[in-house]
Amino acid sequence: MARIEKVIARRVWDSRGRPTVEVEIGTSSGAWARGIAPAGASRGSAEAIDLRDGGGRFGGMDIQQALRGIREEITPRLLGFDVSDQEGIDAALIELDGSPNKARLGGNATIATSLAALQAAAASHQMPLWRYLAGDTSVCLPIPQIQIFGGGAHAGRRVDIQDFMVIATGAKSFQQALEMTAEVYAAAGKLMGSRSGLMGVADEGGWWPNFSSNEEALDVLVQAIEAAGYAPGKEIAIALDIAASEFGREGSYRLALDDRTMGSQSWTEVLLGWLDKYPIVSIEDPLAEDDEAGLIEFTRSAGKNVQIVGDDYLVTNAARVEHAADVGACNAVLIKPNQAGTVTETRAALLAAQARGFATIVSARSGETEDTAIVHLATGWNAGQLKVGSFARSERMAKWNEAIRLEDSGLVSGGFIGRAALAGSR
Ligand code: PGA
Ligand code: ZN
């Protein structure tokens, strides 16, 4: 048995140039491994809390308090733990924190520690993480959702919708899905350049959304798929993250770009119109986190055909997923480890979803690093889908490239899952 002998907490920097927490764990087996906390910008209100120092330094985003908690409270508690006892380690983190949402020690502190322990356990078993997680079960490589235009909170709210993504539904391998997406990403860049001049990229690497309406972005996305030589809807389909909690509250939705304010029902009609007009196979947070009635209605109208993903609404929480399944809201869940704050709670949300027939998508955050753990979680837990942002910037490409390595190893016996992973019949 490998025991935790050393825990090191340090500040590193994320893809937005902001401080974040890294934890490194050393074990009696000689294995060392680390985990790094990512950070969201359009967060659900029930997520685990990122502990930030406030004050003037680095826009108040420093994480010295979180590091202190790891050094003074978490480390003494974890020393001597069996590093493979993930549930025990995570239970200790939850108990130490003592708050309902990791507000005291910080979800950034607990997830970095939890992921470091998981990686150290896999290293102690001399296994790649995905394999350690999969055990003897046959698992598949996920199908990727890849952003072409960024928007919402990731692009200064230039457009209201947050993620305009593609899913290479015609791909037969992960490698091929990336090849197809690379062509669409390049074609979209060319189109943007010829329309209005390129204006760089948004937080997750998608092209800056220089559009005069939200719908125009959808039109250009379809054009980009065609310009890349693919049939929209047949070979490459569209996935959206509306992130409606960013512009909807108490049943009122304010689209700044389109200069319209609508009730839940009218907004739903707009979305259903888009589903009719465009080859959309997946739609995330179509209504705000506080609009459960709207989500139920939307799922009733569109959930047979289209994947409806809960992110802000479900916040990687098993009880919330079970409740959503009971009331008929959504048919898929986004799985973000730092929304839960520990690996064990993340896994519980994923298992609850799989047990209820929900599709599952392991996801990065808009603030990311070189950490590729989520690719292994998506594969080892057989999540079926992976969302990492766009096809540019190395905090994103590190994840796509890691998935290529897993595929190339030939050891993922289930192969590439393809479009079968999506909820909905489209
Ligand atoms: P975030 O957004 O990482 O900025 O919170 C990502 C998402 O909404 O899926
Ligand atoms: Zn989202």
Examine residue 338 and state whether it is found in any structural domain, yes or no: yes
The pLDDT tens digits of the residues spanning 202-222 come to 999 999 999 999 999 999 999
Q: Which of 24, 47, 215, 336 is catalytic?
A: 336
Examine residue 137 and state whether it is found in any structural domain, yes or no: no
pLDDT the model gives residue 426: 86
75/188 same-domain check: no
Å from CA of 126 to ligand 2 middle: 34
Read off the pLDDT of each residue in 190-210 and give the average, rounded to a whole number. 95
8/149 same-domain check: no
Examine residue 133 and state whether it is found in any structural domain, yes or no: no
Note the Cα 7 to chain centre separation in Å.
27
142 lines ligand 1 (CB under 6 A): no
Atom of ligand 1 nearest to the CA of 243: 8
Examine residue 132 and state whether it is found in any structural domain, yes or no: no
pLDDT band for 302, please (50, 70, 90 cuts): very high
The CATH number that applies at residue 232 is 3.20.20.120
pTM over 0.85, yes/no: yes
Read off the pLDDT of each residue in 163-180 and give the average, rounded to a whole number. 98
Q: Which of 126, 154, 179 corresponds to the end of one domain?
A: 126
184/322 same-domain check: yes
165/243 same-domain check: yes
122, two tokens: 């896999």
Active-site annotation holds for 336 = yes
Examine residue 285 and state whether it is found in any structural domain, yes or no: yes
Q: Which domain holds residue 231?
A: 143-421
Examine residue 370 and state whether it is found in any structural domain, yes or no: yes
